[in-house]
């Protein structure tokens, strides 16, 4: 649902009734991940996607039906090729889709409205929903914020909300959307409930150091794949908004000094394109010691070896040097700034998603790399983490 928060928030403010179909589980090779959503309002307007086109028509009808009867429904779509008109996925995967009506009289509309509004404002928020369990609980929702506070309720034992909020907060910290299973009393025993937690966090940052033509192309490519892009350079004549119209911000500062005070986290990408040791060495000395996702630097192999030697001289360890992606980018044979930006972003995505960069043709690697498996279903009556 948070996948299309901006549009749905507008629908809520306009007072529209709608139903949302959300991918809650994926097995095998499927086109969309958990959290992907399609919504249909009472006038038949549709937004979003759950399968890239394979089952959209059938899901549209499920949304329309849910709007009419006011009941949530969980449906599974798998591979179907028996005839040309069968409804199913052509990729061989299986997806489970939860359809939730959000009508003016719906008990959970206030919680959904608050979650959608927070996500539309760019705030971090997690929405936990019951996808499998007793019928009276399916579709119940809990909005969880980064400070651990929450609103709404999943029904049943009060401890269930506390346990769900704790799990959702941990997933929100990691920016993950996934399912987990817990007993209806909030412990690892009792009737099992499957909860989907959708995390919506601000876009990850990409900081590009060096206001050169390659940086302009990289800013455009970084924005395309969903990063908040900052370009930083110490030279005001080059670091201008006019030269980098696709960047979210352009900063005039010495790179290492800017990085010392910049907001970074475990999703941040740092791309060093400066080609100048007076910028590169103090910048990388700091960058390689920060808890960021990716540190890459442009340059020839000779530049790379010289830069590594200078970094060792200022005390950078071999373990820290091993984090440096240099020369930055995958081997695409890139020549132009645009091709080079593509190779850099390809390496960033491969690092983020666990890809190999190997051509899929003739390879035996998976097309979509599966997330970590969900915890086991409740069995023995042991307290859940965080349970009283």
Both tokens of 261, joined, read 């005070």
Backbone angles phi, psi at 156, to 5 degrees: 80, -145
SS3 helix, strand, coil % of the chain, rounded to 5? 30, 25, 45
Backbone angles phi, psi at 183, to 5 degrees: -70, 155
Q: What is the DSSP string of 138-189?
A: TT-EEEE-TTS-EEEE-SS-HHHHHHHHHHHHHHHHHT--EEEEEETTSSSS
CA–CA distance, 211 with 254 (Å, rounded to integer): 12
CA–CA distance, 171 with 251 (Å, rounded to integer): 32
CA–CA distance, 325 with 350 (Å, rounded to integer): 12
Could you tell me the domains of the chain? 1-106 (no CATH), 107-202 (no CATH), 205-353 (3.40.50.720)
Q: How many CB atoms lie within 10 A of CB 380?
A: 7
pLDDT tens string, the chain, 388 residues long: the values are 898 999 999 999 999 999 999 998 888 766 678 889 999 999 999 999 987 667 888 999 999 999 999 889 999 887 554 433 344 455 557 888 999 999 987 778 999 999 999 999 989 999 999 988 888 888 889 999 999 899 999 986 788 999 999 999 999 988 888 888 988 788 766 788 899 999 988 889 999 999 999 999 999 999 999 999 999 999 999 999 999 999 999 999 999 999 999 999 888 999 999 988 889 999 999 999 999 999 999 988 899 999 999 999 999 999 999 999 999 999 999 999 999 999 999 999 999 888 888 888 876 666 666 554 444 444 445 444 444 3
Both tokens of 111, joined, read 């919680």
pLDDT of residue 337: 95
Short-list 203, 286, 294, CA closest to 249:
203
């Amino acid at each position: 649902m948070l996948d299309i928060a901006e549009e749905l928030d507008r629908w809520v403010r306009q007072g529209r009734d709608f139903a949302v179909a959300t991918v809650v589980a994926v097995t095998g090779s499927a086109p969309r991940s958990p959290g992907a959503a399609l919504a249909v309002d009472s006038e038949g307007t549709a937004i979003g996607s759950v399968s890239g086109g394979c089952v959209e028509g059938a899901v549209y009808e499920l949304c329309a039906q849910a709007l009419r009867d006011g009941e949530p429904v969980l449906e599974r779509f798998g591979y179907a090729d028996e005839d040309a008109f069968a409804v199913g996925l052509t990729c061989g995967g299986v997806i489970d889709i939860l359809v939730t009506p959000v009508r003016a009289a719906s008990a959970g509309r206030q919680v959904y409205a608050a979650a959608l509004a927070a996500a539309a404002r760019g705030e971090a928020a997690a929405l936990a929903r019951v996808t499998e369990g007793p019928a009276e609980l399916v579709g119940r929702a809990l909005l969880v914020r980064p400070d651990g506070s929450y609103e709404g309720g999943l029904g049943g034992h009060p401890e269930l909300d506390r346990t769900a909020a704790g799990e959702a907060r941990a997933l929100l910290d990691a920016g993950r959307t996934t399912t987990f299973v817990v007993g209806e009393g909030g412990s690892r025993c009792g009737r099992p409930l499957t909860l989907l937690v959708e995390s919506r966090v601000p876009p990850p940052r990409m900081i590009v150091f060096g206001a050169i033509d390659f940086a302009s192309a990289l800013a455009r490519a970084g924005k395309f794949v969903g990063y908040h892009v900052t370009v930083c350079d110490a030279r005001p004549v080059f670091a201008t908004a006019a030269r980098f119209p696709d960047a979210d911000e352009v900063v005039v500062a010495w790179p290492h000094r800017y990085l010392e005070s910049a907001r970074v986290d475990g999703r941040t990408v740092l791309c060093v394109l400066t080609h100048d040791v007076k910028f590169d060495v103090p910048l990388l000395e700091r960058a390689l010691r920060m808890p960021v996702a990716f540190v890459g630097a442009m340059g020839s192999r000779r530049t790379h070896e010289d830069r590594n030697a200078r970094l060792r001289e200022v005390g950078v360890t071999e373990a820290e040097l091993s984090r440096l992606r240099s020369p930055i980018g995958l081997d695409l044979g890139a020549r132009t700034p645009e091709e080079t930006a593509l190779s850099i972003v390809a390496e960033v995505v491969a690092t983020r998603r666990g890809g190999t960069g190997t051509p899929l043709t003739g390879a035996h690697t998976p097309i979509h790399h599966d997330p970590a498996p969900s915890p086991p279903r409740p069995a023995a009556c042991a307290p859940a983490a965080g349970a009283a």
